[in-house]
Amino acid sequence: IGVRNCLSPFCGQQNKVSPIIKIKNKDKIVINLSNFKEIFSSSHSFLVAFTQSYESSKFKDTVIKHLLITKINNELKISGEFVIR
């Protein structure tokens, strides 16, 4: 299990997201998010699971991720990202 803060602008999306990202000097990268499911919730945090598929010309991977989202100063923040293979 890997843990990191979510830096993606797509982390807060609730529907399936299929952004196409072009990085300088790189081929097209496609990231799909789907199968969102709430695992746990309380008045100040919740845990969601989703499937993330990543594909470029050199690498392809699909993983299940869990995001821990916490209410801090009346704002929702991603406080943890767990990669489940």
pTM of the model: 0.64
Cα 61–Cα 64–Cα 68 angle in degrees, nearest 5 = 130
pLDDT at 10 over 80: no
Count of CB atoms situated within 10 Å of the CB of 37:
11
Q: How confident is the model at residue 21 (pLDDT cuts 50, 70, 90)?
A: low
Residue type, 14: Q
Checking phi first, is residue 73 left (phi over 0); if not, alpha (psi -120 to 50) or beta?
left
